[in-house]
Structure 1
Amino acid sequence: MSQPEHGQNPPPGGQPAWGNQPQGGNQPPWGSQPQGGNQPQWGGQPQWGGPQAWAAPQAGGQYRPGQPPGGWPPGPPYGQPFYVAPPKPGIIPLRPLQFGEILDGSFQTIRRNAASMFGSALIVQVLGAVLIGIVTVGMVQLSTTFESVSSEADFADAMGPFFAFMAGTLGVSVLIGFLGSVLQGVLVVPVSRSVLNRRTGFKQMWKLAGPRIIPLLGVAALLTLGGLLAVAAVIGIAILLFTAMGPAALLIVLPLGLGAVVAFVWIGLKLMLAPAVIVVERTGVYDGLLRSWKLTRNNWWRIFGITLVVAIMVGIIAQIVQIPVSLVSAAIGGVVAPHPDAESMTSTLVLTTVISTAIGALVGSVTFAFQASVSSLIYMDLRMRRDGLDVELMRLMETGSDPEGIPGGPSNAPANTAWPPSEGQFPSAPPGQQPQA
């Protein structure tokens, strides 16, 4: 017996139509469903006790795969999870960084930890500025003695102190570079703690970095000594070539000097992260240098570009600040000594040197703290790219362990801590959001 078509009444003696089944107790048919053949169009389905929920299809009445009909809530394609942005508990998001995020994180670090970063950099800059100021005043006073030179013997006597002051200037520059290398390792402490929004005071910073001072002094001494030996070797080779070949040696000395500068920059950038490695990862001098060399592998040009742009920015800012300082110093000199003589010139020079030195120390402390922050964030970025440090930082953020330590160090991963946490938290989900079961 053939089945009736949908929407047609069955032949006599057959089954009743769908929707008109006899109900027990002579109950009315289930709902008030429309008969077959009179179904509403797509988008007009009746709802029990309420208006329709599906909207009509787009113009043309065609449903395109991959696009939900109008009225459906927006969401990801079927079977794909929602995108959850990496958390940003502190100055940077916990993922590999972009150039703008490194600059922004550096500014935020200085703003949040002004006492520790700006104060420490100011101490070093003031010490260097005072020494340079003393050497400058001595050089100016020594230059006045050349006016009374009348013989070769007097000239030789005057050149002795002159070379001594020149050596003093070089020594002060080397000392500032040495202390700057040590301070760069110390300033990585507030930067790494700011990644997890942990503020660091002046005393706390030096307390955390204190056990690593001796390795920092060692790596700073090694880098400084290596740089001095390299410069001395190039100068010595140039002197020998000029002695043997005369002016023709210039054809060899110029490429040699250019190659030495390129090699110095390349090696310097390869080893620039050693102070940060020594403090955060608690390594020795040799291991810190080797670790910095490995971290910068295949990233040298990126590091060079960031460092060069930051150096240009810092140089422009310093020059902009020094221009009004120079104008003020010249105005003070004209007011204090309108008719200059030897004594008034010396007093004016001392006054203007003190003013320019103080301003230079303030500007230098800010720029040094900013450059140290950039270097520290480059180190954190490379570790997130190579070591998965972002996952470790997420674990610290979730558990809140080691709140007084340095994030990223070896003590921040206790053996009895499982990952992911026992609560089932996704590593990529922000705190308080559990994944769907």
Structure 2
Amino acid sequence: MYVAPPKPGVIPLRPLQFGELLDGSFQTIRRNAASMFGSALIVQAIAAALLGVVTVAMYELMDSLESTDFSEDAAGFFGPFLAVMAGSVGVSVLIGFLGAVLQGVMVIPVSRSVLNRRTGFGQMWKLAAGRILPLLGVAALLTIGGLLAAAAVVGIAVLLFTALGPAALLIVIPLGFGAIIVFVWIGLKLMFAPAAIVVERIGVYDGLLRSWQLTKSNWWRIFGITLLVSIMVGIIAQIVQIPASLAATAIGSVVSPHPDAETVASTLILTTVISMIIGALVGSVTFAFQTSVSALIYMDLRMRRDGLDVELMRLMESGADPDGIPGGPPQQVHVNTWPPGAGHSPGTPPGLWPQA
């Protein structure tokens, strides 16, 4: 007679289907709004503020082009232009770095929600306190590795164009597509390293190796789920941001129907601030949702490969470690006795207690 697996929290304790991943992610965000949405909002607000500064700097640079004589002041133009471009790349790298760290931290409320345990903002960061350094390490390693790989591809392309001229396109285009495929493949293979570092309390190298092992024979399934979720999130974000962009444009036309240079600059700042706020709100929701889906995929892989569902059932029945992270190694309990050997059970060596 079939007996349905228990569902103490946001997902049933068995390997998951796609719809259960989405439903579990929505429920996790709803039950832990302060920890998940609040943390994502802080990071997105920082990213939006930096992007707003870069946008205003780009506008001022474009405005200065009208008075620039390129024949006499080429260096005066390319210097600020390169600085703005470097700022844009730097902001993108910083967002990716903070996102990798936050992805590991936010797996805590997701894993606790599996057993219907709510997690507050402070509690989440308290549980993640001992894992911040390994998370910073894996985020730095992934970021530096990605930058070096991109620089290598660009360098090879420059050398090919220098040696072959326009004919190098026949090599550079396939090389670019191949680099993108390899980048996506490796990125998905190492996708769950932050989650493994936090939940299983392991180091940077072990976290990367653990993610590589978990994704074995599951790469295409993970790729399909990640791609579908990214498309869904992108469409929803665009639907929300289009009315906001139209509203910002309308505000600008009302405030300055006959704009001059100063009014245009003021309007640009106003619309940039409005877009920045809306973008931060939308980005925090989408980031929290994508991170929750990723964490549930990690739990699903462990249930498929490690029998994590059985371990979670035992933890649910015993109620042990209610303030910890489900799925991690068991807490070690030390009992001090004095004098040495006192209090041990008959037939048991001193210091060893029989299993309950």
Q: Which has the higher helix share?
A: 2
Larger RCO: 1 or 2 (CA < 8 Å, sep 6+): 2
Q: Moved runs in structure 1, 4+ residues, more than 3 A?
A: 412-418
Structure 1 Cα separation of the partners of residues 354 and 206 of structure 2: 27
| Alignment map for 1:55-134 (pairs within 5 Å) | 82-134=1-53
Shift of residue 207, structure 1, vs aligned partner: 0.3
Q: Is the 8 A contact 1:216 1:285 kept in 2?
A: yes
Structure 1 stretch displaced more, 175-184 or 317-326:
317-326
In structure 2, distance between residues paired with 1:150 and 1:260: 39
Q: SS where residue 143 of structure 1 aligns?
A: helix
Matched, 1:200 2:133: no
Which residue pairs with 1:318 in the alignment?
A: 237
Counterpart contact for 1:92–1:105, Cα < 8 Å: yes
Q: Contact (CA 8 Å) 2:104, 2:194: kept in 1 or not?
A: yes
The verdict on how the C-alpha distance between 1:417 and 1:306 changes in structure 2, with shifts beyond 3 A counting, is farther
Contact 2:103 2:291 in 1 (8 A): yes
Bigger-Rg structure (1/2): 1
Counterpart in the other structure of 1:262: 181
Q: What SS does structure 2 have at the residue aligned with 1:95? A: coil
**Residue 416 to residue 297, structure 1, CA distance change in 2 (3 Å):** farther
3-state SS, counterpart of residue 92 of structure 2: helix
The within-5 A match list for 1:195-274 is 195-274=114-193
Counterpart CA distance in 1 for 2:354 and 2:94 is 45
Residue 283 in structure 1 maps to residue 207 in structure 2: no
Partner of 2:216: 297
In the alignment, is the contact (CA less than 8 A) between 1:121 and 1:369 conserved in 2? yes
Cα deviation, residue 339, structure 1: 0.9
How far does residue 413 in structure 1 lie from its aligned partner after superposition? Answer: 8.6
Q: Distance in 2 between matches of 1:412 and 1:341?
A: 67
> Is residue 350 of structure 1 aligned with residue 269 of structure 2?
yes
Write the distance in 2 (CA, Å) between the matches of 1:151 and 1:307. 46
> How many residues are matched?
338
Matched residue type, 1:282: R
Say if 1:92 and 1:195, in contact at 8 Å, map to a contact too. Answer: yes
1:153 alignment counterpart = 72
- Which of 145-154 and 249-258 deviates more? 145-154
TM-score (norm 2): 0.93
Q: Which of these residues, 296, 300, 310, is aligned with residue 377 of structure 1?
A: 296
Verify the 8 A CA contact 1:401 1:412 in the aligned structure 2.
no
Q: Structure 2 unaligned runs (5+)?
A: 334-351
Q: C-alpha offsets along residues 311-332 of structure 1, whole Å, 9 cap, x if unaligned?
A: 0000001100111011111101
**Does structure 1 conserve the Cα–Cα contact (< 8 Å) formed by 2:26 and 2:289?**
yes
Structure-2 residue corresponding to 1:398: 317
Distance in 2 (CA, whole Å) between partners of 1:386 and 1:417 is: 30
The one-character-per-residue Cα deviations of 1:224-273 (angstroms, maximum 9, x if unpaired) are 00000011000010011001100000000000000000000000000000
Q: Distance between the aligned counterparts of 2:72 and 2:152, measured in 1? A: 32
Tell me: CA distance 1:151–1:173, structure 2 relative to 1, closer, same or farther (3 Å): closer
Instruction: Output one character per residue of 1:365-397: Cα deviation in whole Å (capped at 9) or x when no partner.
Output: 000000000000000000000000000000010
Q: Deviations over 1:142-186 (max 9, x none)?
A: 111110012423232022111101100100000000000000000
- Find the counterpart in structure 1 of residue 307 from structure 2: 388
- Identical-residue share of aligned pairs (%): 76
Q: Which amino acid aligns with 1:314?
A: V
* Structure-2 residue corresponding to 1:176: 95
Task: Give the TM-score normalised by structure 1.
Answer: 0.76
Match of 1:247, SS state, is helix
Name stretches of at least 5 consecutive residues in structure 1 with no aligned partner. 1-81, 423-437
- 1:416–1:222 CA distance, 2 compared to 1 (3 A): farther
- 1:411 counterpart = 2:330: yes
Q: Is the 8 A contact 1:146 1:155 kept in 2?
A: no
Q: Which amino acid aligns with 1:91?
A: V
> How far 1:416 sits from its partner (Å)?
7.3
SS in 2 for 1:153: coil
Inter-partner Cα distance in structure 1 for 2:74 and 2:182 = 39
Q: Which residue pairs with 1:429 in the alignment?
A: none
Counterpart residue number, 1:306 = 225
Aligned to 2:342: none
Question: Residue 186 in 1 paired to residue 112 in 2?
Answer: no
* Distance of aligned partners of 1:264 and 1:101 in 2 relative to their CA distance in 1, 3 Å threshold: same
- Spell out, residue by residue over 1:113-136, the C-alpha distance to the aligned partner (whole angstroms, 9 max, x if none): 000000000000000000000110
Mean CA deviation greater in 331-340 or 247-256: 331-340
CA RMSD of aligned residues (A): 1.4
Asked if 1:336 is matched to 2:255, the reply is yes
2:85 is aligned, of 158, 162, 166, to: 166
Report the Cα distance in structure 1 between the residues aligned to 2:69 and 2:207, rounded to whole angstroms. Answer: 56
